[in-house]
Amino acid sequence: MRYVKLQFGCLLVILYIMIAYLRAVKRGKTKTCMEYNLLMIMAPLAVIFDGITAWTVNHMDIVPSLVNRLAHLLFFLFMDFTIIITSRYMYDLLIGYDKTAKWKKVLLNLPGMISVLLTTVGIGGLHYIKGATTWYSMGFSVYICYGTLVLYYGTILYIVASRRRFLESGKILETLTCIGIAGVILAIQICFPEVLLTAIFPTILLLGIYIGSENPSIRQLEMRSDEMLNGFATLVENKDSNTGGHIKRTRAYVNLILEEMKDDRHYRDVMCKDYMENVSNAAPLHDIGKIATPDSILQKPGKLTDDEYKIMKEHAAEGGKIILQIFYNMDDAKFRQIAYEIARFHHEKYNGRGYPDGLVGEQIPLHARIMAIADVFDAVSQKRCYRDAMTLEDSFSIIEKGIGTDFDPNLAQIFLDHKDEVIKLMKQFQE
């Protein structure tokens, strides 16, 4: 027990986390995450082999050299896998994987695959040094493991730094805390190799991610927030009998545009998982201001008078006010701002002739420009009490003719370039 006390304590912590997580999954209180599931396998294995190597390196008189090197190789590999998996987890947490871009996962895994190969090839050069209280190992494989950590976590730090304006503060703090602790342990291990704190590294990562993101209580809060947003959207649907599927379709169109924006160089610095989720969740609230619009105007079968149209246009500004009032005490300030701007500015036009503020071009928030395209297309392609639906050809033509006047040229072109997907989504959410 002299050399494995730390590892034994770490395993107890990991065991507690695994039991709590698996119980929550069994009760259906949390969704499973592949990367986190893999981490729950790799983390305890890394700690176990850390303990085994701590014992074997101090008993080389009775442990065969081949067994000692094999134990060290497995330890290094499990540590490499832990670094790779947590980096993938943090990348997905911050940016999100594009479902169609599998090359991104391959690219993220490639340095790790090289690291695994080099670690395996270099294990023969491992040598052992006698310290004041314990033996410890050094060599090419050790340095490769250190390099893997610096490379992967350095990349994640760059992502946080470059996109911090669009990331939730909680996720930034969680990511920086995990990487910070890993950096401290790495620095101590390099400066004082005899200390042997490596078992703490996978344990802290598993615990930190559990507390920050995978805790069932957090998952439940996220589910309740989604239910609340859907409830507000339903209020609008029930008031405006003309828009039964409008909210679902417009959200689907917004999501389509967002997904395609991820690979567009114009929006590369903007697109991250938090931003996309916030815009997607705020989209159903774009017409929430119609709650304040009289039913006699909202459901009028004929053409509105000038005075009635003036009242109808007030729903954009009213929607912004309602968002600020409802979510005044909400911790997520970024979502509140995005929802406010979508509700208030989704009727602004690119040439400045929209309402309520007459904003021009990129003065209009990006998410409001996205919403404008989805909103107009659905409005003209569906039947309303005051007119019939336009044909699909005419509906797409409305968007095309509005490029540079009503709509952002780049965003409108993205929408038009994916007509087949738009039609498929429209049929999927048809009233």
Grade residue 266 by pLDDT with cuts at 50, 70 and 90.
confident
Backbone angles phi, psi at 63, to 5 degrees: -100, 125
Mean pLDDT of 55-74: 93
Mean pLDDT of 169-184: 88
Grade residue 237 by pLDDT with cuts at 50, 70 and 90.
low
- Spot the catalytic one: 171, 248, 262, 290: 290
Q: Which residue has the higher pLDDT, 332 or 207?
A: 207
Please report the pLDDT score of residue 165 as a whole number: 81
Active site (annotated) includes residue 290: yes
Q: In 291-418, at which residue ranges do the beta strands (DSSP E only) sit?
A: none
Spatial distance between the Cα atoms of 381 and 52, rounded to a whole number of angstroms: 67
Backbone angles phi, psi at 136, to 5 degrees: -150, 160
223 pLDDT above the threshold of 60:
no
Which domains, and CATH codes, for the chain? 5-214 (1.20.1070), 218-428 (1.10.3210.10)
User: Cα-Cα-Cα-Cα dihedral of 272, 277, 282, 283, to 10°?
Assistant: 90
The whole-model pTM stands at 0.77
High-pLDDT (> 70) share of the chain, %: 87
For residue 58, what are the CA distances in angstroms to 4, 51, 53? 11, 11, 8
Please report the pLDDT score of residue 334 as a whole number: 86
Please report the pLDDT score of residue 230 as a whole number: 66
Mean pLDDT of 193-205: 87
Mean pLDDT of 119-124: 93
DSSP classification of residue 305: P
